[in-house]
Structure 1
Amino acid sequence: MLAAAVGLPAGLGLGLLVALGRLDPLPAILTMAGVMALTAALILPRFRDLERISRFAADLSDRGDLPVPVPRHSRAAAELAQSIARLRRSWETQSGQLKSLALSHETVLDSLPDPLIMVDPGGVVRRANLAARLVLGRVLENQEVTQVFRDPLVLEAVEAVLAGAGGREVPYVVPVPVRRDFTLRVEPLPTATAEGAVAMLMLHDITTLVRMEQMRADFVANASHELRTPLSSLLGFIETLRGPAHDDAEARDRFLIIMQEQAQRMNRLIEDLLSLSRIELMEHTPPTGAVRLERVVSAVVGALEPQARAQGVTVETALPDDLPAVIGEREELAQVIQNLLANAIKYGVPAGASAGRVEITAGTLRRGPVAMPQATRADCVFVAVRDHGDGIPKEHLPRLTERFYRVDSARSRQLGGTGLGLAIVKHILNRHRAAMVVDSQVGGGTTFTVYLPRAASGQQLDDDPPGPSPRPARGNPAAA
């Protein structure tokens, strides 16, 4: 077809010469055939080269892995093929960069610790990072924001920002499976994203801050109450002694005994508060000494033996002779064992029984519990204090180390507890990069297990004798 199109002018010229009688028909036909054959031989291969390049360019958008055709008859076609090949390489490079950039953005978003959600002008979620999916518990993309958040404050903030208002911040609570408190910030985006998102919702977890503030408020209220009660009692007895009982010797002696008990109660509370304050100041400075734990336990058991005998409690110990030394400060570890053992003695007698039993065991583990810091978890030493008392209901276990937290407040005060013993234990163990695990069964007793990092072989031992105070430690009365 191409040869016929190219040979048409030559054919018309030859036909005109034949018509004028200047050329015989046969030579004209032969000449015409030769021209067409020559034209086909010279042009048709070039046309096929161009046709192959045209098909390659047309198929390139669907299949990027097609080989580049190699024209053999046309220099222009070869240059065109090289240009298309360079264009494809450039496109592949840019496409790869865009994919890497998109993947990088996705990775960055998913690595953010705070939940982040992007919505379009219609309030439909266009993108959500991994933290948002974990907190809100489902796939969020293509969901309407009203289906994701049911809080009216959140929806009002989103609606206002989508309508053109500035950023808004509101509180938001995720109630299940465990309550978590957030501040939710809604901000307009400077430009729409590729997905069409125009606003961003950011959630910042403030659960720890809320709990700390609540604990601070509870601490102030509880400390005030704990001090006010004996102080009011003292003031009442003083007023009585100055008035109606001024000359009543019997009443005076009885009141003085009660006043002394109340004063001792306040003194114990103040001592525990000061002790807790000192430990908190040192909490970020871990001890470097090495302590033989079995010596500490033996000394504490001996110091509390009179108290155990008075309560009708037998203390049994099973401590290996080859127990490795632990990293720690002797006095603080003695206070830990003393508080735990004092609690076990106080609350280790089952209701209705006249005697009880406390067991102290120790040993080693190749790996401690997850509650221990990763750096000190390997090759740890444990000591467990177990009583056979009434046990602690499970709902109380997570709060045992809170200040002034009590399972049975009346029984605790009756036994002289301040509610700070286990809080002191917790902060001492935090300083030692250690951990405590509580296992309790109602009616079956409670076990407090302390895990301590093992000292290095050959580390210098602190051979000074432990000096636990002869005054029994006030444990948290929740430690049944």
Structure 2
Amino acid sequence: MTLARLIARATMLAMLAVVLLFFVLRSGLPVADAILGWLVIAVTAALLPHSFITVETPAPVATATGISGLTVSGFAEALTDPCLVLDKRSIVRHRNAPAARKFPNVAIGNPVTFAMRNPELVQAIESVWRSGQTKIIELHETLPTETWERVAVAPLPSQHGEWLNDENPLLLITFQSLTELKRVEALRTDFIANASHELRTPLTSLLGFIDTLLGPAARDVAAREKFLLIMRGQAERMAKLIEDLLSLSRIEMHQHVRPTGSVDLVALLREVREGLQMQARAANVEITLDIPADAARTTGDRDELYEVFENLIENAIKYGGDGKTVELVLAASNLPGLAHQISVTDHGPGVEPEHVPRLTERFYRIDADTSRKKKGTGLGLAIAKHIVNRHRGQLAIRSRPGEGMRVDVSLP
């Protein structure tokens, strides 16, 4: 016997006792008769089958807050992806916390179409209302920024049998962001296309010169020497590209692992400057060094940091050498959590502001022909950015036409 039935029977007997007491006091009913009558009724009630005394409880009803007020909302809130719950009029009955952050204009109590007017989404909702079958679509939005979403519109089953015949049907809409995946896929496609193109060009040149040396220039000593020098240059260009690709791949593989070594930036910058002095003299460029007298230590990978500053100074010599000076400065950083700032500044032609944000993209070149002539691979700044990110630092580029370029590397 349930607690509800016990309470119901106890309540009935108490009320009976009150009625009998009333008759004893007002109508002169003998007390013994009253007690005997109460006992008879009590025993009868105790012997009745359970089906004679029932306490009706409301059946669970699927509502906007869930079955019995908890299940649907609790399920929605447990999801890490944005989720909306709609009733049969497509009115929003619940939105979880991620949905509230992602779609602040979607208000509970309003039709979902007030805030989300994408025709594909509206058609998917209408289709599910008609068929009762889950529908999955991909939404592509371009404003205010380009985004991709995988949207699943699904009927929410209840305890009333057929969903289409249910009195309170609900729809569950979940959103899964595909934006990062799409961008990575686009980068991968561009990377393969650019890498293939960069490798195909020198290979084509090499094959052409080899054919020439095997044919018309087979006995021409002067032509052979000229072509061999060109072939050597193309081979060096291809080797540099492969080296940069391998370096970038290696850095990305360990991007999540923070370096643990100790590096003296003062000694490192001196070494990088000395290693590039021959190249600087050939370009008639002077590399000035402004560093503190004492050591400036940071946690990092020495070889990778050497590669960063070597790439930055090489770029300054190649593309900003017209200014005849490249300045290398080590100072304290004013950024929170970062102790050192290394600046590489040239006084060359500079670049237009619209190019600056894209300079660290792989294979991005402002002038591809000039870059290839100077044996650039288009990967130097991309490698530098990845290394700085691995060291939990920041890389910033500033440039204006006619004012040269300044690259700041801030490290812990």
Q: TM-score, normalised by structure 1?
A: 0.64
Alpha-carbon shift at residue 210 of structure 1 (Å): 0.9
RMSD across aligned positions (CA) = 3.0
Q: How does 1:246-265 map to 2 (within 5 A)?
A: 246-265=218-237
1:231 equivalent in alignment to 2:193: no
Contact 1:118 1:197 in 2 (8 A): no
1:125 equivalent in alignment to 2:92: yes
Question: 2:366 corresponds to which residue?
Answer: 407
Tell me the distance in 1 between the aligned counterparts of 2:78 and 2:146: 23
Change (3 A) 1:167 1:394: farther
Change (3 A) 1:113 1:384: farther
Contact 2:105 2:115 in 1 (8 A): no
Question: 1:343 corresponds to which residue?
Answer: 315
Tell me the distance in 2 between the aligned counterparts of 1:123 and 1:136: 16
1:386 equivalent in alignment to 2:345: yes
Alpha-carbon shift at residue 209 of structure 1 (Å): 1.0
Change (3 A) 1:311 1:105: farther
1:437 equivalent in alignment to 2:396: yes
Tell me the distance in 2 between the aligned counterparts of 1:323 and 1:440: 30
1:271 equivalent in alignment to 2:243: yes
Question: 1:426 corresponds to which residue?
Answer: 385
Q: 1:357 aligns with which of 318, 325, 328?
A: 325
Secondary structure of the residue that 1:358 maps to in structure 2?
strand
Q: 1:318 aligns with which of 290, 297, 303?
A: 290
Contact 1:289 1:328 in 2 (8 A): yes
The amino acid that maps onto 2:331 is G
Change (3 A) 1:188 1:108: closer
Alpha-carbon shift at residue 268 of structure 1 (Å): 0.8
Tell me the distance in 1 between the aligned counterparts of 2:295 and 2:143: 44
Q: Deviations over 1:152-201 (max 9, x none)?
A: 33222211212233222111123222212211111112249xxx671121
Tell me the distance in 2 between the aligned counterparts of 1:104 and 1:439: 54
Q: Deviations over 1:95-122 (max 9, x none)?
A: xxx9xx9899979967865322222212
Unaligned 5+ segments in structure 2 are 1-64, 160-167
The amino acid that maps onto 2:292 is P
The amino acid that maps onto 1:157 is A
Secondary structure of the residue that 2:333 maps to in structure 1?
strand
Tell me the distance in 2 between the aligned counterparts of 1:107 and 1:187: 17
Alpha-carbon shift at residue 337 of structure 1 (Å): 0.7
Question: 1:138 corresponds to which residue?
Answer: 105
Question: 2:57 corresponds to which residue?
Answer: none
Tell me the distance in 2 between the aligned counterparts of 1:402 and 1:249: 43
Contact 1:313 1:348 in 2 (8 A): no
Alpha-carbon shift at residue 132 of structure 1 (Å): 3.2
1:334 equivalent in alignment to 2:321: no
Number of residues paired by the alignment? 340
Alpha-carbon shift at residue 273 of structure 1 (Å): 1.7
Secondary structure of the residue that 1:348 maps to in structure 2?
helix
The amino acid that maps onto 1:432 is H
Tell me the distance in 1 between the aligned counterparts of 2:182 and 2:71: 34
Secondary structure of the residue that 1:117 maps to in structure 2?
strand
1:213 equivalent in alignment to 2:197: no
Contact 2:87 2:93 in 1 (8 A): yes
Larger CA deviation: 334-343 vs 308-317: 308-317
The amino acid that maps onto 1:187 is A
Unaligned 5+ segments in structure 1 are 1-97, 369-377, 454-480
Tell me the distance in 1 between the aligned counterparts of 2:106 and 2:72: 19
Question: 1:16 corresponds to which residue?
Answer: none
Alpha-carbon shift at residue 215 of structure 1 (Å): 1.0
Secondary structure of the residue that 1:163 maps to in structure 2?
helix
Contact 2:73 2:94 in 1 (8 A): no
Change (3 A) 1:407 1:113: farther
Change (3 A) 1:356 1:105: farther
Q: 1:243 aligns with which of 211, 215, 231?
A: 215
Higher relative contact order (CA closer than 8 Å, sequence separation 6+): 1
Tell me the distance in 1 between the aligned counterparts of 2:346 and 2:119: 51
Tell me the distance in 2 between the aligned counterparts of 1:316 and 1:113: 53
Alpha-carbon shift at residue 344 of structure 1 (Å): 1.4
In terms of Rg, which structure is larger?
A: 1
Tell me the distance in 1 between the aligned counterparts of 2:197 and 2:102: 38
Contact 1:120 1:126 in 2 (8 A): yes
Tell me the distance in 2 between the aligned counterparts of 1:294 and 1:105: 61
The amino acid that maps onto 1:361 is V
Question: 1:74 corresponds to which residue?
Answer: none
Question: 1:29 corresponds to which residue?
Answer: none
Tell me the distance in 2 between the aligned counterparts of 1:339 and 1:312: 18
Question: 1:114 corresponds to which residue?
Answer: 81
1:446 equivalent in alignment to 2:409: no
Contact 1:283 1:427 in 2 (8 A): yes
Tell me the distance in 2 between the aligned counterparts of 1:103 and 1:269: 59
